[in-house]
């Protein structure tokens, strides 16, 4: 009998306590396992686990949901007193099978988090018979525990910084990715200097000095914080954003030509120009047959717009070339754009010249935010999955588990 109780306690993840008896639940199908805390665990703070004076005795047993026995829900039940911690105040004493404030055992929460990383929300909720909001609370606790157990970030020399929208109303997460491993290192709500400073403070002065390359867009708040916190780092301007400036200039030129034709009463030509947007923006290799015909017609009918299209493609070729040759081609591109009669491209050339050092650093080091764009795409999918969470904490925890390598192992007997 004693051996059977030990085996049951081990199977439920409460082997550090004494299993006394198992009863069938009266209010619903399932079981409750009565356990008794060992004396050494009766007076410990659940947060710091330091011994503390007792505050009061429990007037009733407390329950924690654990792995099911068969088809019914299973709970572990124990009488746990409260303690008075000089640091954290009055709390329920530490129990070795559950995290502070949790209504589930640690191994059950780890299993739910593992499932949330790999399964859809309906499957996780239905399989474990818990609400999706409860899954969010579990993810927050497991995420905090995995961060606390993970080793400090060592030997990080190349990082990428970006922002991603996670909810309507201009709500953003600032994310940091390690270029060497491709893993998400850090995520936090906000996109300003104060938010990014929190990351570098968590990294520490010594590890900040080890960073050599930082890729980012042209946001001034990123540049200022990187310059202040990473004295040995070279900031690399993300090529995607540079090409986006020129693509925007091309669309401004197209709109200006369309308005001009419309005001002149040339409706047919204006209509053809309005439908040329995607032909002008897409990469040449991805053009359809009709889009190629549109470009060929633009070459004959609207030379200014076609000249803008060629400038856009020439800049893309600069970033494909890279190295010192790419730097030389970049300078030639700036001169050509400035000498053109195309006002949007002149403005784009001025912006590129303003950030030329950072753009050249990207060309010489072959660094971009391509990894971050992939992470952004996955984060947006996770954002849909996280719909129903009432804060960003479960979303960040889910992202760190799925993209940052912090997913707990599936609980198994060892």
Containing H/E element for 277?
helix 277-281
What does the block give as tokens for 331? 């300078």
Same domain, 246 and 285: yes
Same domain, 108 and 233: yes
Beta-bridge mates of residue 216: 237
For residues 90 and 83, what is the distance between their CA atoms, to the nearest angstrom? 6
Q: Of the residues 75, 102, 129, which one is the last residue of a structural domain? A: 102
Same domain, 286 and 309: yes
For residues 68 and 111, what is the distance between their CA atoms, to the nearest angstrom? 12
By residue range, what is the domain housing residue 83? 1-102
Same domain, 264 and 116: no
Other C-beta atoms within 10 Å of 301: how many?
13
For residues 245 and 239, what is the distance between their CA atoms, to the nearest angstrom? 10
Same domain, 291 and 361: yes
Using CB atoms within 10 Å of the CB of residue 81, give its burial: 0 to 12 exposed, 13 to 18 middle, 19+ buried. Answer: middle
Containing H/E element for 162?
strand 158-167
Q: For residue 348, give every residue at least 6 positions away whose Cβ sits within 8 Å of its Cβ, in sequence order, or none.
A: 245, 246, 248, 249, 337
Same domain, 11 and 93: yes
- Has residue 2 got a pLDDT over 60? no
Do residues 215 and 160 touch, judged by C-beta distance below 8 A? yes
Q: Of the residues 102, 117, 146, which one is the last residue of a structural domain? A: 102
Q: How many domains does the chain have?
A: 3
For residues 334 and 348, what is the distance between their CA atoms, to the nearest angstrom? 9
For residues 115 and 127, what is the distance between their CA atoms, to the nearest angstrom? 10
Q: Mean pLDDT, to the nearest integer, of 398-405?
A: 89
- Has residue 3 got a pLDDT over 70? no
- Amino acid 391: pLDDT: 78
pLDDT band of residue 413 (cuts 50, 70, 90) is low
For residues 333 and 314, what is the distance between their CA atoms, to the nearest angstrom? 8
Same domain, 292 and 274: yes
- Amino acid 152: pLDDT: 62
Report CA 123 to chain centroid distance, whole Å. 23
Q: Of the residues 69, 102, 135, which one is the last residue of a structural domain? A: 102
What does the block give as tokens for 303? 């030379």
What does the block give as tokens for 14? 């409460």
What does the block give as tokens for 399? 């992202």
User: 229-266 as b/e, with b when 16 or more CB fall inside 10 Å?
Assistant: bbeebbbbbbbebbbebbbebbbbbbeebbeebeeeee
Q: What does pLDDT average to over the chain?
A: 86
For residues 94 and 101, what is the distance between their CA atoms, to the nearest angstrom? 10
- Has residue 9 got a pLDDT over 80? no
- Has residue 411 got a pLDDT over 60? yes
Same domain, 270 and 176: no
- pTM equals 0.81
Same domain, 262 and 163: no
For residues 399 and 269, what is the distance between their CA atoms, to the nearest angstrom? 49
Alpha helices in 76-167 (DSSP H): 106-118, 121-128, 132-149
> Per residue in 280-324, pLDDT tens?
888 888 888 888 888 888 888 788 888 998 999 999 999 988 889
- Has residue 264 got a pLDDT over 60? yes
Place of tokens 């996670």: 166
For residues 75 and 68, what is the distance between their CA atoms, to the nearest angstrom? 8
> Per residue in 345-375, pLDDT tens?
999 999 999 999 999 999 998 888 777 778 8
Percent of the chain with pLDDT over 70: 97
Do residues 45 and 99 touch, judged by C-beta distance below 8 A? no
- Has residue 1 got a pLDDT over 60? no
pLDDT band of residue 193 (cuts 50, 70, 90) is very high
Same domain, 274 and 229: no
Distance between start and end Cα atoms, the chain: 22
């Amino acid at each position: 009998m004693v051996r059977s109780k030990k085996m049951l306690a081990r199977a439920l993840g409460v082997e550090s306590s004494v299993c006394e008896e198992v009863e069938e639940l009266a209010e619903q199908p399932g079981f409750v396992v009565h356990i008794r805390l060992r004396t050494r665990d009766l007076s410990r703070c659940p947060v710091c686990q330091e011994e503390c004076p007792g505050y009061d005795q429990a007037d009733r047993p407390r329950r924690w949901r654990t792995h099911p026995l068969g088809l019914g829900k299973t709970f572990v039940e124990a009488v746990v007193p409260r303690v008075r911690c000089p640091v954290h105040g009055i709390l329920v004493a530490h129990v070795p099978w559950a995290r502070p404030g949790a209504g589930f055992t640690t191994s059950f929460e780890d299993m739910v988090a593992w499932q949330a990383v790999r399964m859809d929300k309906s499957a996780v909720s239905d399989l474990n018979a818990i609400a999706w909001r409860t899954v969010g609370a579990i993810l927050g606790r497991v995420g905090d525990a995995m961060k606390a157990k993970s080793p400090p970030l060592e030997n990080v020399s190349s990082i990428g910084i970006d922002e991603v929208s996670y909810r309507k109303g201009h709500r953003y997460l600032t994310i940091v990715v390690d270029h060497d491993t491709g893993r998400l290192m850090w995520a936090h709500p906000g996109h300003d200097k104060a938010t990014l400073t929190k990351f570098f403070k968590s990294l520490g002065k010594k590890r900040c000095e080890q960073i050599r390359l930082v890729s980012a867009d042209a946001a001034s708040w990123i540049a200022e914080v990187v310059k202040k916190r990473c004295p040995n780092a070279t900031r690399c301007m993300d090529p995607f954003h540079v090409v986006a400036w020129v693509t925007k200039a091309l669309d401004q030129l197209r709109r200006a030509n369309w308005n001009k034709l419309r005001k002149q009463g040339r409706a047919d030509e204006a209509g053809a120009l309005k439908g040329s947007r995607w032909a002008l923006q897409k990469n040449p290799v991805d053009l359809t047959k009709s889009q190629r015909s549109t470009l060929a017609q633009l070459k004959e009918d609207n030379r200014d717009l076609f000249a803008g299209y060629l400038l856009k493609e020439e800049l893309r070729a600069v970033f494909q070339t890279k190295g010192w040759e790419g730097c030389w081609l970049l300078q030639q591109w700036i001169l050509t754009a400035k000498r053109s009669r195309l006002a949007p491209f002149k403005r784009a050339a001025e912006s590129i010249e303003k950030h030329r050092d950072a753009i050249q650093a990207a060309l010489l080091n072959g660094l971009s935010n391509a990894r971050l764009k992939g992470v952004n795409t996955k984060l947006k999918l996770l954002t849909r999955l996280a719909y129903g969470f009432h804060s960003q904490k479960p979303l960040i925890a889910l992202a760190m588990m799925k993209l940052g390598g912090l997913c707990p192992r599936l609980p198994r007997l060892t």
